[in-house]
Amino acid sequence: MTEEIPIWRIKYLPKNLEEICGREDIIDRLKKIIQEKNFPHLLFVGTNGVGKTTIAELFSKEFLGEFFDANYKLVHADVPLTSEERQHARTDSYVSTTRIGSMAGKTLTMPAFIQVKVKPFVELKAFGEVPFKILVVKNFEALGSNQQGFRRLMEIYGSNCRMIIITTKVSGIIDPILSRCQLFIISQVSYESFKRYIHAIIEKEQLKVKEDVIEILYQISKGNISHALDQLQLASISGNEIDSNMIYENYKKYQNKEVKELLLLMIKGDFKEARNKAREIISSYKYSMKEILFQILQEINKLPISRFAKIKLIDVIAEIDLRSIDGQDSDIQLSALISKISTFSESL
């Protein structure tokens, strides 16, 4: 383990498409696109943590070459705009009455996210010897009805900028956008590919690992390489010899500790910190909304509070669980959960 990069998930992050674990068919298709120097808008679909964003970035680096930094941008559709960004969007949406033209004095209806995060990038001409720029939009389904505005940008600026849309819910994307994209389904890495990759890291770090440990890592990480490396590195702190019991104990201990901290933040009424913690947990463990609700429910049952208070908290969990079935934006449901528990905790 080097002093410069002590975290294994960063130390062993792939630097090009060749270093991607498995997904040979996907990599071959992307390499062909690089050779042809042209491609339509792309749609990457897959579960959380399978490597969609990493593959999109590495593909963009190889496609754009030395002009990557000037012609690539990654935006998260599910990250709320700051107050400054919203103010900027409101300012830009109004055309002064002193200007000449048919739009003078009118208010534009372009969504704030697109106005601030997307339009300034896609409307500028590509820099250097590249056919176009590349914009990657992560968690695209979170745009909801604003996808229509994004579709218009795809049509207007498509010759200057290609979009790579990343989502876990293809059902949350409107048909006009689906029809404009080439589909890539990024599936979970196979166990054999995972096993070869982890074995290579074990040799580099000079660890002594029993064979069943790799299978357990694959199960608890659900094929997520970064998550598996975190667990392996955590177990290695105790020594170079690692067995399955160490992996299980560390995983459960750390998992429970994180969720307990989240619940305590909610009960304290610290909405901002609780939301940041919840997003961190979901990102690290790749929980679905239902899974994180289940984990919180388990921690509620351990709290030293009255039976009445537990019933009230469980009722909040049940209400959010029901809403999350039809809701497209899990972050909104998560924020609602934190808000309700924070408000309720004032009466505890």
The answer to whether residues 198 and 217 touch, using CB atoms and an 8 Å cutoff, is yes
DSSP summary character for residue 94: B
Model confidence pLDDT, tens digit, residues 96-134 = 444 444 444 444 456 777 877 888 888 889 898 899 999
Flag whether pLDDT at 312 surpasses 50: yes
pLDDT at 42: 94
Question: What does each C-alpha distance from 287 to 221, 278, 296, 333 come to in angstroms?
Answer: 11, 10, 12, 14
Q: Give the gyration radius of the chain's Cα atoms.
A: 23
Model confidence pLDDT, tens digit, residues 13-35 = 889 998 888 888 999 999 999 99
- Evaluate if pTM is beyond 0.75: no
The topology under which CATH files domain 23-185 is Rossmann fold (3.40.50)
Measured distance CA(16)–CA(229) in Å, rounded: 19
Domain map (residue ranges) of the chain:
23-185, 191-252, 267-345
Model confidence pLDDT, tens digit, residues 188-232 = 888 899 989 988 988 888 888 877 888 888 887 778 888 888 888
Listed in sequence order, the DSSP H helices in 164-288 are 175-178, 191-204, 211-221, 225-236, 244-268, 271-285
Residue 97 exposed, middle or buried by CB count within 10 Å (0-12, 13-18, 19+): exposed
Measured distance CA(348)–CA(343) in Å, rounded: 10
CATH of the domain spanning 191-252: 1.10.8.60
Question: What does each C-alpha distance from 60 to 16, 19, 153, 180 come to in angstroms?
Answer: 10, 15, 20, 19
Its CATH class, for the domain covering 267-345, is mainly alpha
